[in-house]
Amino acid sequence: MDFDLLYPNQEQRAKKMTNTAFYESLGFDLGLFFGAARLFGKINDENRILEYVTSDVDTIKYRQEVFDDFANSKELRNGIDKVMPKMNEFLTAKYKRIEDGDITSSLYSVSEVDLYFECLTSLQKVLASVSGEIKSRALTGFTKYLTDLVTDEKFVQTKKNIDASMEDVRGIKSITIGVNLDAQLRPLEAGVVSVNKEIYKSGNVVDKMMRLDFKDDGFFCGTPLQRSTKNMSPEEVNAFYDALNSSLETMYKNGVKKWGPMVKEYLEKDTKFVDEIFEQMTFYVAGTAMYEKLRTMKLPLCKPEIRSKEENACHITGAYNPLLAIRENMHGVVRNSLVCDKFGKIYILTGATKSGKTFFTDSIGICQVLLQLGMYLPCESATISPVDNILAHCPRDKGLDKSSARVEEECQKIGDLVKDLTASSLVIMDEPLDCASNVEASYIVGQVVLKAAKVGARGLFSTSLVDIAEEADEINNKANSDTKVDTLVTKTIEDKPSYQVERVKPEGSNVAKSLAKRYGIEA
Q: What is the pLDDT of residue 509?
A: 58
Q: What is the mean pLDDT of residues 134-138?
A: 96
Cα 60 from Cα 66, distance rounded (Å): 10
Question: Whole-prediction pTM value?
Answer: 0.79
Query: Is 237 a domain residue?
Result: no
- Who has greater pLDDT, 110 or 45? 110
pLDDT in tens, 207-242: 444 444 545 554 455 556 666 666 777 777 777 677
Cα 222 from Cα 470, distance rounded (Å): 86
Query: Is 339 a domain residue?
Result: yes
Q: What is the mean pLDDT of residues 92-115?
A: 63
**Whether the Cβ atoms of residue 381 and residue 317 lie closer than 8 Å to each other:** yes
Cα 485 from Cα 446, distance rounded (Å): 11
Q: What is the pLDDT of residue 268?
A: 64
Cα 460 from Cα 361, distance rounded (Å): 7
Q: What are phi and psi of 290, to 5 degrees?
A: -65, -40
166-170, Cβ contacts within 8 angstroms, sequence gap of 24 or more: 166/110, 166/113, 166/114, 166/255, 166/259, 168/254, 168/255, 168/258, 169/107, 169/110, 169/252, 169/255, 169/256, 169/259, 170/110
Q: What is the mean pLDDT of residues 403-424?
A: 88
Cα 6 from Cα 13, distance rounded (Å): 8
pLDDT band at 365 (very low <50, low <70, confident <90, very high): very high
Q: What is the pLDDT of residue 202?
A: 56
Q: What is the pLDDT of residue 98?
A: 47
pLDDT band at 256 (very low <50, low <70, confident <90, very high): low
Q: What is the CATH number of the domain that holds 459?
A: 3.40.50.300
Q: Is 187 helix (H, G, I), strand (E, B) or coil?
A: strand
Cα 72 from Cα 67, distance rounded (Å): 8
Q: How many other C-beta atoms are found inside a 10 Å radius of the C-beta of residue 363?
A: 29
CA nearest to 294, candidates 82, 498, 71:
71
pLDDT band at 74 (very low <50, low <70, confident <90, very high): very high
Among 34-48, 177-191, 242-256, 315-329, name the most confident range: 315-329
* Model confidence at 346: pLDDT above 70: yes
Cα 198 from Cα 172, distance rounded (Å): 7
Give me the residues paired with residue 54 across strands: 16
Q: Flag the least confident range among 12-16, 145-149, 275-279, 511-515.
A: 511-515
How many angstroms from the chain centroid is the CA of residue 119?
21
Q: What is the pLDDT of residue 323?
A: 82
pLDDT band at 163 (very low <50, low <70, confident <90, very high): confident
Q: What is the pLDDT of residue 41?
A: 42
Q: What is the pLDDT of residue 42?
A: 45
Q: What is the mean pLDDT of residues 42-51?
A: 58
Overall number of domains in the chain: 1
8-state DSSP, 316:
E
Q: What is the pLDDT of residue 43?
A: 40
Q: What is the pLDDT of residue 270?
A: 55
End-to-end CA distance of the chain: 76
Q: What is the pLDDT of residue 406?
A: 83
Cα 240 from Cα 234, distance rounded (Å): 10
- Who has greater pLDDT, 387 or 157? 387
Tell me the percentage of the chain whose pLDDT exceeds 70: 71
Cα 407 from Cα 292, distance rounded (Å): 43
Q: How many CA atoms within 13 Å lie on the side-chain side of 391?
A: 25
Q: What is the mean pLDDT of residues 498-515?
A: 76
Number of H helices, E strands in the chain: 20, 12
Query: Is 493 a domain residue?
Result: yes
- Who has greater pLDDT, 475 or 97? 475
DSSP string, 323-341: HHHHHHT-TT---EEEE-B
Query: Is 10 a domain residue?
Result: no
Query: Is 380 a domain residue?
Result: yes
Cα 394 from Cα 358, distance rounded (Å): 9
Query: Is 250 a domain residue?
Result: no
* Model confidence at 410: pLDDT above 60: yes
3-state helix/strand/coil string of 353-417: CCCCHHHHHHHHHHHHHHHHHCCCECCCEEEECCCCEEEEECCCCCCCCCCHHHHHHHHHHHHHH
**Alpha helical stretches, state H, 73-136:** 74-95, 103-129
Q: Flag the least confident range among 35-49, 151-165, 212-226.
A: 35-49
How is the beta sheet containing 485-493 ordered, strand by strand? 389-393, 425-430, 458-462, 346-350, 485-493, 496-502
pLDDT in tens, 259-306: 666 666 666 665 667 878 888 898 898 889 888 889 999 999 999 999
* Residues ≥6 apart with Cβ < 8 Å to 460: 338, 346, 347, 349, 361, 364, 365, 426, 427, 428, 429
pLDDT band at 8 (very low <50, low <70, confident <90, very high): very high
8-state DSSP, 180:
E
- At position 5, the amino acid (one-letter code) is L
pLDDT in tens, 179-211: 777 777 776 776 667 767 777 665 554 444 444
Cα 270 from Cα 334, distance rounded (Å): 49
Domain housing 324: 297-518
Cα 66 from Cα 76, distance rounded (Å): 11
CA nearest to 486, candidates 316, 351, 308, 338:
338
Query: Is 421 a domain residue?
Result: yes
* Model confidence at 390: pLDDT above 50: yes
* Model confidence at 124: pLDDT above 80: yes
- At position 116, the amino acid (one-letter code) is Y
Q: What is the pLDDT of residue 260?
A: 61
Q: What is the mean pLDDT of residues 448-473?
A: 94
Q: What is the mean pLDDT of residues 52-81?
A: 95
Q: What is the pLDDT of residue 210?
A: 44
Q: What is the mean pLDDT of residues 377-382?
A: 97
- Is the alpha carbon torsion for 271, 127, 114, 112 positive or negative? positive
Cα 118 from Cα 121, distance rounded (Å): 5
3-state helix/strand/coil string of 49-64: HHHHCECCHHHHHHHH
